[in-house]
């Protein structure tokens, strides 16, 4: 009789996580070493058997900046808000590359890692988080390049950064990273059943760039309707704020940030919910 009572007292029920329990931050922290290993793996795989290796982290934004300078600065003669073209396009390229890489790489979480997921247990969110961190490391390397270019133009008296506001880089990066993570895990959850959506997403991200002030400033948009649409773009606030801080030219309003944060919370919440459902059955569909 006593044995039965002890068993009832220490009875533990195991079942699927529900509600907020699906996002177990404590468990993710316990697997932080694994997340860092995934980040290291991403770099090893990406630059393995390449001639220039990690130098491509700097070459890609330089080539993009050169192309934008010729196409949009010289040929199209788009305004850069009074900022020299090279730092203007380099700033937009660095921030947008961080965001787009989060979406494009996180969106393949289930399809590209199905072999690992089916053999060993670990928090599935560790994989997309490590992908986001890999993109963050790439951004920080590109930011060093951007900062040296910035100093060159500062010494020439062509740019006046807001030095006091530079710590705002941290919330800007956090906002961009979480937004990209939210969008990416939504796509990764849907593409477990519909692989052809990956093509649509890649094309959609490219279109999204032109709806974002990457190669043009928001101040250039005179049409009220178009301006409202672009302000509702969740990437407009971090991009314009980044330029306002480092280039001294850009719009930084509370309304744009409220819209951007609202989009981020909604997309990240929807993404986590879908991710929690799909991770239980994706092995059967991938």
pLDDT in tens, the chain (286 residues): 444 444 445 444 434 444 444 566 777 788 788 888 888 887 777 666 666 666 777 888 888 889 999 988 888 888 888 899 999 999 999 999 999 988 988 887 777 776 777 677 777 788 889 889 989 999 998 999 999 999 999 999 899 999 999 999 999 999 999 999 999 998 888 877 767 677 788 888 989 999 999 999 998 888 889 999 999 999 999 999 999 999 988 888 899 999 999 999 999 999 888 887 777 665 545 5
Q: What pLDDT is stored for residue 169 in this prediction?
A: 94
Angle subtended by helix axes 85-106 and 126-155, to nearest 10: 180
In a domain, 185, yes or no: yes
Q: What pLDDT is stored for residue 110 in this prediction?
A: 73
Secondary structure of 211-280 in the HEC alphabet?
CCCCCCCHHHCCCHHHHHHHHCCCCHHHHHHHHHHHCCCCCCCHHHHHHHHHHHHHHHHHHHHHHHHHCC
Q: What pLDDT is stored for residue 12 in this prediction?
A: 44
Count the domains in the chain. 1
In a domain, 273, yes or no: yes
In a domain, 149, yes or no: yes
Range of the domain at 78: 52-285
Q: What pLDDT is stored for residue 7 in this prediction?
A: 47
CB within 8 Å of 34: residues ≥ 6 apart: 122, 126
Say what the pTM is.
Answer: 0.85
In a domain, 263, yes or no: yes
In a domain, 254, yes or no: yes
In a domain, 44, yes or no: no
In a domain, 140, yes or no: yes
In a domain, 5, yes or no: no
């Amino acid at each position: 009789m006593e044995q039965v009572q002890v068993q009832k007292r220490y009875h533990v029920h195991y079942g699927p996580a529900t509600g907020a329990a699906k996002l177990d931050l404590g468990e993710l922290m316990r697997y932080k070493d694994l997340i860092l290993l995934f980040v290291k793996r991403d770099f090893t795989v990406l630059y393995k058997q390449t001639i220039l290796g990690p130098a491509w982290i700097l070459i890609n934004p330089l080539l993009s900046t050169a192309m934008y300078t010729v196409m949009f600065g010289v040929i199209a003669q788009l305004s850069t808000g009074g900022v020299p073209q090279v730092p203007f396009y380099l700033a937009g390229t660095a921030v947008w590359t961080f965001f787009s890489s989060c979406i494009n790489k996180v969106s393949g979480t289930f399809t590209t890692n199905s072999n690992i997921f089916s053999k060993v247990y670990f928090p599935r969110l560790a994989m997309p988080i490590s992908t986001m961190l890999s993109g963050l490391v790439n951004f920080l390397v590109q930011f060093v390049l951007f900062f040296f270019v910035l100093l060159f133009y500062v010494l020439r008296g062509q740019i006046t950064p807001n030095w006091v506001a530079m710590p705002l880089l941290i919330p800007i990066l956090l906002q961009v990273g979480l937004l990209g993570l939210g969008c990416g895990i939504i796509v990764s959850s849907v593409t477990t059943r519909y692989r052809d959506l990956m093509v649509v997403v890649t094309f959609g991200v490219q279109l999204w760039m032109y709806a974002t002030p990457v190669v043009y400033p928001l101040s250039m948009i005179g049409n009220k309707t178009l301006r409202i649409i672009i302000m509702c773009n969740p990437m407009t606030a971090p991009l314009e704020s980044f330029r306002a801080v480092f280039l001294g030219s850009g719009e930084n309003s509370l309304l744009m940030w409220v819209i951007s944060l609202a989009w981020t919370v909604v997309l990240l919440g929807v993404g986590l919910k879908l991710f929690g459902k799909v991770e239980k059955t994706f092995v059967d569909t991938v």
